[in-house]
Amino acid sequence: MNKQTILVIIASILVSGCSSLGVQPWERDLLAKDEMSLSSSPVDNALDDHIYFSKEASSGGKGFGGGGCGCN
């Protein structure tokens, strides 16, 4: 239960502290670039995930969504 508590604490800090962070909608030029995408090479990631899933005891954990140009 200890690890879960830590996670909940981190999550609450993030949620409360993050309303002041960020950029204006027109300041997302760098964030809009492909190389700033959180999953910039999905093919590489898929191939690597397969290798490490087969050779190690851990897998996954990475997510989806967020960042980018923020358009529409």
d(CA 15, CA 10): 9
Residues contacting other proteins: total by CB under 8 A: 51
Report d(CA 58, CA 60) in Å as an integer.
7
CB of 51 to other proteins, least distance (A): 6
Q: Which helix (H) or strand (E) holds 14?
A: helix 2-17
Residue 23 is a binding residue for other proteins (CB under 8 A): yes
Kindly list the residues in this chain that would bind other proteins in the complex (CB under 8 A): 3, 7, 10-11, 14-15, 18-19, 21-33, 35-36, 38, 40-44, 46-47, 50-52, 55-67, 69-72
